[in-house]
C-alpha cells in the first residue's frame, strides 16, 4: 500500500520537474516552493500545491532552510519530502528532522548519509569491507608535517581531500614534497570555507584515471543490487559534463567485480534508497573506491535508459517500505546512453557561467532522445543557482550508434539568450579519443587544444552577417556610397529588431 500521499519537493529546476513526473505517474500529489528569485519557473507548473515563499527575505535559500522546509511540509500536509540533489540531499540532520516530524524522507537513513558523507569514516568502512582503495592516511591529518610523512611513505603524487568534501572543492594534488605546505593550507582553508570543516586527509593520487560509478538500489529489508556502471570521465575541474552508461572500459568480469564491491559497501551501512558508489579506474584496470553519494545523481537518466527502471519510482517505493522487486539477475543492461549537460556557460571563456534569459528553446523530439529540463522559452538562468539548462540524453543500440545519434541531436538543439556548452559537445562527439573511448578524467585539461567545434563555413557566414549589418548601417540606398556619419553605437536590441525587418 502506498503510504506516501503527497511529496514536498525540496528542490527546483529540472530535478523538481523530474520528480513530479514520476509522482504523477504513481498518482502521488506534489508540493513545490515558489521563490522570489524564480517566480515563473517551469517546475511550478504541474504541481498539485504551490507554496508561495516569495515574500521570504531570508538570506539562506529556502531549499537550504531545514526548519522552513519542515514547516512547509507540515502546513501543506505533505507526508514525504524528496530532496533531489544538491541543497539538503546529503544532510543527515535534515533527514533526521523529517523523521522526527513524521515525514518520510525519500532517501537513505541519516546514519548512512552521515557515514558516507564523512570521507574519513567512509574510508574506514570501505577498508573494513575489503574494498580496494588508494593508499593514504587512516584518518584526518593534523598538519602539513604529518601529511608530508604519509606522502613520503605512499609516494608522490598525492591528493589532499576535504573530509566533509565533495564536488571537487577542498581538493589539491601535490606532486612534489616542497609543494606540500602550501597545498595543505589551501585545501584546509577551502574545506573550512566550503564545508565548515577544515579536516583533510591524504591519499595516493591516481594519474589519468577513468571515473566509473555504480548505481545501487537497497531496500529496508537488507536487499541491495547494482544497476551497472556509468562512466563520467569527461569532467572539468571535477565537474561532470558528459556521462554515459555502460562504460567501454569494463567487461562483464570487471563489471561483476566492481558491482559486487559497490553492493558490499552499501550493505555495510544498511543502505536503503538509490545511491552511487564512485571508483577510479587506472590504466591497468585497477580500481579504487573514491566515495559514495547518498542521493539521486544528475546523471541517473543514462542508467534508467539501459536498465528500463525509473529510479525516482524506486526511491519512492523503497521509502514507502516496499521490498525491491528485482534480484541482481533480473537486471539486464541493454543498449547505450549518453547524457550531455547543456549549461549556460561560455566555452570560449573557459566555461564561465553565462546567466540570462532563454529567448528561444527548441529541443529535438526524436525517439532516441530524452530531454530533462526545468527550462522553457522565456525562462531565466539565474546566477544564484547552477547553470544547468537541460540534459540531453541520447540512446543507441551500441556506443557507436549512441554517438551518431548524439551528434545528430546536438545539431537540433536550439537555445538562444545565453551561451551554452553545445559547441563543446559538438567538438567532443567528433574527437578521436572520445570515439575510441580512451579518454580519462584529464581529457579536457590535457588532450584538447580547442574547446569547441565550428566549421569554416560557419565563420564565413558570421562574417557575411557582419558585413550585411555594416552595409545596412553605413551605406546609402544605392548601396555603394559610404556615409561615415551613420553607424555609431547602436543597441543590440535595436539591431536585432532591424534584422527582423529584413
Report if residue 436 touches another protein, rule: CB under 8 A. Answer: no
Q: Closest approach of Cβ 461 to another protein, in Å?
A: 6
359, 366, 398, 445: residue in contact with another protein (rule CB under 8 A): 359
Considering only residues 146 through 165, tell me which ones interact with another protein, judged by CB under 8 A. none
d(CA 364, CA 362): 7
Report if residue 283 touches another protein, rule: CB under 8 A. Answer: no
Single out the segment in contact with another protein by CB under 8 A; choices: 37-45, 164-172, 321-329, 354-362. Answer: 354-362
Report if residue 442 touches another protein, rule: CB under 8 A. Answer: no
Q: Which residues contact 469 (CB under 8 A, 6 or more apart)?
A: 495, 499
The three cell numbers of residue 159 are 591528493
Q: Which residues contact 214 (CB under 8 A, 6 or more apart)?
A: 226, 227, 228, 229, 230, 258, 259, 262, 276, 277, 279
The three cell numbers of residue 163 are 573530509
**How many other CB atoms are found less than 10 A from the CB of residue 351?**
19
d(CA 290, CA 307): 24
Q: Closest approach of Cβ 416 to another protein, in Å?
A: 5
Out of 18, 172, 255, 295, the active site residue is 295
Single out the segment in contact with another protein by CB under 8 A; choices: 17-25, 86-94, 378-386, 411-419. Answer: 411-419
Q: Between 185 and 469, whose beta carbon lies closer to another protein?
A: 469
Q: Closest approach of Cβ 242 to another protein, in Å?
A: 16
Show the site string, 298-317: x = touches another protein by CB under 8 A, - = not: --------------------
Q: Between 50 and 475, whose beta carbon lies closer to another protein?
A: 475
Closest by CA position to 453, among listed 479, 483, 430, 486? 430
Report if residue 143 touches another protein, rule: CB under 8 A. Answer: no
Q: Between 270 and 473, whose beta carbon lies closer to another protein?
A: 473
Considering only residues 73 through 102, tell me which ones interact with another protein, judged by CB under 8 A. none
Single out the segment in contact with another protein by CB under 8 A; choices: 12-20, 31-39, 89-97, 494-502. Answer: 494-502
State the SS3 of 164-201. CCECCECCEEECCHHHHHHHHHHHHHHHHHHHCCCCEE
Q: Enumerate the H helices of 26-143 as residue ranges.
A: 66-75, 92-100, 110-117, 119-128
**How many other CB atoms are found less than 10 A from the CB of residue 95?**
26
Considering only residues 462 through 481, tell me which ones interact with another protein, judged by CB under 8 A. 462-471, 473-476, 479-481
Considering only residues 360 through 389, tell me which ones interact with another protein, judged by CB under 8 A. 360, 362
Assess whether 295 carries a catalytic annotation.
yes
Considering only residues 314 through 353, tell me which ones interact with another protein, judged by CB under 8 A. 348
d(CA 337, CA 261): 24
234, 301, 419, 428: residue in contact with another protein (rule CB under 8 A): 419
The angle at the Cα of 158, spanning 446 to 434, to the nearest 5 degrees, equals: 25
Q: Closest approach of Cβ 366 to another protein, in Å?
A: 16
CA 2 to chain centre: 30
Q: Closest approach of Cβ 428 to another protein, in Å?
A: 14
Report if residue 459 touches another protein, rule: CB under 8 A. Answer: yes
Q: Between 195 and 453, whose beta carbon lies closer to another protein?
A: 453
Report if residue 483 touches another protein, rule: CB under 8 A. Answer: yes
Q: Enumerate the H helices of 362-428 as residue ranges.
A: 399-412, 422-428
Q: Closest approach of Cβ 377 to another protein, in Å?
A: 9
The three cell numbers of residue 486 are 551613420
Q: Between 149 and 461, whose beta carbon lies closer to another protein?
A: 461
Q: Would you call 19 helix, strand, or coil by DSSP? A: helix
The three cell numbers of residue 124 are 574506514
Report if residue 457 touches another protein, rule: CB under 8 A. Answer: yes
Q: Say how many residues touch another protein, by CB under 8 A.
A: 50
Q: Between 135 and 461, whose beta carbon lies closer to another protein?
A: 461
d(CA 363, CA 422): 12
Contact in structure between 163 and 228 (CB atoms under 8 Å): no
Report if residue 485 touches another protein, rule: CB under 8 A. Answer: yes
Find the radius of gyration of the CA atoms of the chain.
Answer: 25
Q: Between 45 and 360, whose beta carbon lies closer to another protein?
A: 360
Closest by CA position to 147, among listed 134, 161, 137? 137
Q: Closest approach of Cβ 359 to another protein, in Å?
A: 6
The residues carrying an active-site annotation are 295
Q: Which residues bind another protein (CB under 8 A)?
A: 348, 359-360, 362, 411, 414-416, 419-420, 422-423, 452, 454, 457-471, 473-476, 479-485, 487-490, 492, 495-496, 499-500, 502
Amino acid at each position: 500500500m502506498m503510504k506516501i500521499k503527497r511529496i514536498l519537493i525540496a528542490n527546483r529546476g529540472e530535478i523538481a520537474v523530474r520528480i513530479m513526473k514520476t509522482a504523477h505517474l504513481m498518482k502521488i500529489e506534489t508540493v513545490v516552493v515558489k521563490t522570489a528569485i524564480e517566480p515563473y519557473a517551469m517546475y511550478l507548473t504541474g504541481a498539485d500545491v504551490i507554496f508561495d515563499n516569495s515574500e521570504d527575505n531570508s538570506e539562506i535559500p529556502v531549499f537550504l532552510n531545514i526548519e522552513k522546509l519542515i514547516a512547509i511540509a507540515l502546513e501543506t500536509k505533505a507526508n514525504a519530502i524528496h530532496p533531489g540533489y544538491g541543497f539538503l540531499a546529503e544532510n543527515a540532520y535534515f533527514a533526521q528532522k523529517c523523521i522526527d516530524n513524521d515525514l518520510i524522507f525519500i532517501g537513505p537513513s541519516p546514519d548512512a548519509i552521515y557515514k558516507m558523507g564523512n570521507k574519513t569514516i567512509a574510508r574506514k568502512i570501505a577498508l573494513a569491507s575489503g574494498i580496494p582503495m588508494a593508499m593514504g592516511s587512516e584518518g584526518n591529518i593534523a598538519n602539513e608535517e604529518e601529511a608530508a610523512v604519509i606522502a613520503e611513505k605512499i609516494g608522490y603524487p598525492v591528493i589532499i581531500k576535504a573530509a566533509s568534501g565533495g564536488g571537487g572543492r577542498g581538493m589539491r594534488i601535490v606532486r612534489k614534497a616542497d609543494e606540500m605546505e602550501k597545498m595543505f593550507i589551501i585545501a584546509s582553508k577551502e574545506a573550512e570555507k566550503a564545508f565548515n570543516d577544515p579536516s583533510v586527509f591524504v591519499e595516493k593520487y591516481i594519474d589519468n584515471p577513468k571515473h566509473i560509478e555504480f548505481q545501487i538500489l537497497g531496500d529496508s529489508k537488507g536487499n541491495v543490487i547494482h544497476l551497472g556502471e556509468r562512466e563520467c570521465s569527461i569532467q572539468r575541474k571535477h565537474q561532470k559534463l558528459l556521462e554515459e552508461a555502460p562504460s567501454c572500459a569494463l567487461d562483464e568480469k570487471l563489471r561483476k567485480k566492481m558491482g559486487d564491491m559497490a553492493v558490499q559497501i552499501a550493505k555495510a551501512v544498511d543502505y536503503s534508497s538509490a545511491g552511487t558508489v564512485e571508483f577510479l579506474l587506472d590504466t591497468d584496470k585497477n580500481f579504487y573506491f573514491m566515495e559514495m553519494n547518498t542521493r539521486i545523481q544528475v546523471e541517473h537518466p543514462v542508467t534508467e535508459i539501459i536498465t528500463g527502471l525509473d529510479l525516482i519510482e524506486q526511491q519512492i517505493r523503497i521509502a514507502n517500505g516496499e521490498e525491491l522487486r528485482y534480484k541482481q539477475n533480473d537486471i539486464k543492461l541493454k543498449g547505450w546512453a549518453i547524457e550531455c549537460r547543456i549549461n549556460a556557460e561560455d566555452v570560449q571563456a573557459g566555461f564561465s557561467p553565462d546567466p540570462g534569459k532563454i529567448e528561444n528553446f527548441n529541443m529535438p523530439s526524436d525517439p532516441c532522445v530524452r530531454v530533462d529540463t526545468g527550462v522553457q522559452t522565456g525562462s531565466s538562468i539565474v546566477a544564484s543557482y547552477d547553470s544547468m539548462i537541460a540534459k540531453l540524453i541520447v540512446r543507441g543500440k551500441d556506443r557507436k550508434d549512441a554517438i551518431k545519434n548524439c551528434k545528430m541531436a546536438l545539431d537540433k538543439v536550439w537555445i538562444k539568450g545565453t551561451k551554452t556548452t553545445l559547441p563543446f559537445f559538438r567538438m567532443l562527439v567528433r574527437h578521436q579519443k572520445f570515439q575510441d573511448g580512451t579518454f580519462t578524467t584529464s581529457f579536457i585539461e590535457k588532450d584538447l587544444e580547442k574547446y569547441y567545434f565550428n566549421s569554416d563555413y560557419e565563420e564565413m557566414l558570421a562574417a557575411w552577417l557582419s558585413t550585411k549589418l555594416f552595409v545596412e548601417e553605413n551605406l546609402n540606398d544605392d548601396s555603394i556610397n559610404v556615409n561615415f556619419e551613420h553607424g555609431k553605437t547602436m543597441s543590440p536590441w535595436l539591431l536585432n529588431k532591424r534584422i527582423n525587418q529584413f
